[in-house]
Chains A and B, each alone.
Chain A
Amino acid sequence: MNKLIVSPSPHVHGKDNTRRLMGDVIIALLPAVLVSIYFFGLSAIHLVAVSVVACVAVEFLIQKFLLKGKSSIGDLSAIVTGVLLALNLPVCSPWWLILIGAVVAIGIAKMTFGGLGQNIFNPALVARVVLLVSFPILMTGSAFHAPESGYIFGNAPEFVDATSGATPLALVKEQLAKGVAMDEIMKDPNLSYFQMLYARMGGSAGELSAIALILGFVYLLVRRVIKPYISLSVLLTVFIFSGLLYLGNPAKFVDPVFNLLTGGLLLGAFFMATDYVTSPMTTKGQIIFGVGIGVITVLIRAFGAYPEGVSFAILIMNSTVPLLNKIQPKRFAKEAQKK
């Protein structure tokens, strides 16, 4: 009997189609990249450039010399991984850190599993998590811990206003550990919503401007590259779950809007969780996927040791996707039972 493959549109067929989709994703990511360059200048260009070049180079070298086959860098998927990887790293990352990230993302997370379409885990996130565990000081620092050397062009990034350099979430967790009540913590001007919506915060290059990320998301929706179910269920779940926690104990938990705007949540919900290869195909599956990510993110942020949880949440839910794909639409399941 022929297997019926159930999947929602758009369907990825030949290389041209992949190329068009990847091109759209790159365009959607441009606002975030541009915001990053606006605030950090040469360092941001260094980050994105090294990342993209490294990812493409690693994929080309592996395909041509290790696997002795044809190179598929024309489908632009390596470039997308490169940009996403850059947005997940701190702006002050030295070139060798970015290179190792590229090797992990393309070499380990993508190629070892069989190339585009075969990987289980989101390559950029795998690289980010591996780097986070391997170089904790470099990855959680900000420009104020920036190493002096390690840049192919430009210098270590400079900041105009002095902050302690920690990301908003890390700042909050640290103050909470000291026993400061939430409303006291929120008086810190670096934590204002205005800053987060329009301007910049500490953290990775992609966490900067929510507006830029939302613009990209809307573009992807308009171009029919992705459907909104995953992103919306992630954001709604985070909002509701953290909202409940906040209502229960406002002194210990951040308010839900803060949660939405900080950390890599928007970047994760719009661009990382929606990656075709590593997300479910059915609508039901996608919603469950999004809810799962939301729940795990809030749990890690509120109760876990790390201040940020989106990367881990998405990777954990990635591993459930083969299971989620088995959830059939009711119609087809009933017909199969009849036979």
Chain B
Amino acid sequence: MAIKSSLRNMALVLTLVCLGASAAVAVIYAVTKDPIEIAKADKTNKAIKQVVPAFDNNPSEEILNIPADLSSPQETNKVYVAKKGDEIVGYAVESTTTKGFGGAFTIMVGFTPNGEVYNTSVISHSETPGLGAKITDGQSHFITQWNGKNLVDGSVKIAVTKDGGDIDAITASTITSRAYCDAMEIAGNVFNNINIQ
């Protein structure tokens, strides 16, 4: 059976086990540190790729921090700049709304340089499956209706039709749809403020 449970033995064995465990974890940490960074950047780049036109730079290295509301400049949103060669082809804006049905959710909005929405996609959410979760369906009418719209020149009323706006909500998911409009409006304001920086 095991060795005697004297105080000396217990303290010794516990210390050795902890040291051994920490050493093993440290080694693995060092080995996997870089692949983890690469995986994280990959994930962000994938999200960016979905929402802006083709680019050849690494947008994760060109991040602007732009506020949505100029009166509170410390609250900024991340804006990734996508370039082809030296020419800017698009901006990917991360936008979070707190008005979701299941809490806050974050989307990535891609703008072409002239302010039109190229595409949008959801980064993380906790909406109801079958209802609000339909925002993750990139082919759905709700998502594709945003493409091509200009959110900053006043041509689009960013609200669901029930509230007098131009956006068709997801069936039976008005609250989620409204939250998405809120996130889009924030993204639009951020885009507007890019040129002011």
Contacts and interface: CB of A to CB of B under 8 A. Distances in A.
Direct contact of A and B (CB under 8 A): yes
Interface of A: 136-137, 140-141, 145, 174, 177-178, 305
A136 B101 CA distance: 15
A145 B171 contact: yes
B130 A305 contact: no
Contact of A305 (B101, B163, B171, B172): B101
B175 interface: yes
B131 interface: yes
A185 to B, nearest CB: 14
A136 B175 contact: no
Interface string B18-51: 0000000000000000000000000000000000
B171 A137 contact: yes
B131 A136 contact: yes
Contacts of B57: none
B163 A136 contact: no
B172 A136 contact: yes
B134 to A, nearest CB: 10
Closest 4 CB pairs of A and B: A137-B172, A136-B131, A137-B171, A136-B130
B171 A177 contact: no
Interface of B: 101, 128, 130-131, 163, 171-172, 174-175
A174 B131 contact: no
Contact of A174 (B128, B130, B171, B174): B174
Given A178-B163, A305-B101, A140 B175 contact: no
Contacts of B101: 305
Nearest to A305: B101
A177 B172 contact: no
- Main DSSP-derived SS at the B contact region: loop
- Main DSSP-derived SS at the A contact region: helix
A137 B131 contact: yes
A136 B129 CA distance: 10
A166 to B, nearest CB: 10
Nearest to B170: A137
A40 to B, nearest CB: 22
Nearest to A177: B175
15 contacts: A136-B128, A136-B130, A136-B131, A136-B172, A137-B130, A137-B131, A137-B171, A137-B172, A140-B172, A141-B172, A145-B171, A174-B174, A177-B175, A178-B163, A305-B101
A219 to B, nearest CB: 37
A178 to B, nearest CB: 7
A19 B68 CA distance: 69
Contacts of B172: 136-137, 140-141
Contacts of B163: 178
A174 B171 CA distance: 14
A160 to B, nearest CB: 24
Contacts of B174: 174
A145 B170 CA distance: 13
B61 to A, nearest CB: 42
Contacts of B128: 136
A135 to B, nearest CB: 8
Contacts of B130: 136-137
Nearest to A140: B172
A141 B131 CA distance: 13
Contacts of A177: 175
B93 to A, nearest CB: 27
A22 to B, nearest CB: 36
A140 B130 CA distance: 13
Nearest to B178: A177
Contacts of A145: 171
Which of B130, B131, B172, B175 has most chain A Cβ within 10 Å?
B172
A174 B172 CA distance: 11
A305 B171 CA distance: 17
A237 B122 CA distance: 44
Given A136-B128, A140-B172, A174-B174, 12 more contacts: A136-B130, A136-B131, A136-B172, A137-B130, A137-B131, A137-B171, A137-B172, A141-B172, A145-B171, A177-B175, A178-B163, A305-B101
